[in-house]
Amino acid sequence: MIFLMFVSSFAIAQSLSLSYSGSSINNGDTILVTSADANVNLEAHISVTNISSSNVNLKAKKTELSLITGSTNSFCDWNSCFPPNVYVSTTALDLAASVTNSAFLGEYSSKGNVGESTIMYTFFNTADNNDSVAIIVKYYAGFVGIDGTEAKNTISNAYPNPAKDAFYLDYDFSDANTASVEILNVVGSLVKVQEIQGLNGKARIDVSNLNNGIYFYSVIVDGKKYVSKKLIVQK
For the segment 192-198, the average pLDDT, to the nearest whole number, is 91
pLDDT at 147 over 80: no
Indicate the pTM of the whole model: 0.68
Nearest CA to 58 out of 91, 30, 25, 93 is that of 93
pLDDT at 160 over 50: yes
127 or 151: which leads in pLDDT: 127
pLDDT cut 70: percent of the chain above it: 90
Of 94-98, 146-150, 167-171, 230-234, the range with the lowest mean pLDDT is 146-150
Confidence band for 148, pLDDT divided at 50, 70 and 90: very low
Structural domains of the chain, ranges and CATH numbers in brackets: 2-141 (2.60.40.1090), 148-233 (2.60.40.1930)
Digit-coded pLDDT (tens) for 44-90: 999 999 999 999 999 999 999 999 999 999 999 998 999 999 999 99
**Mean confidence (pLDDT) of the chain:** 85
Distance separating alpha carbons of residues 190 and 127, to the nearest angstrom = 21
Digit-coded pLDDT (tens) for 99-120: 999 999 999 999 988 888 999 9
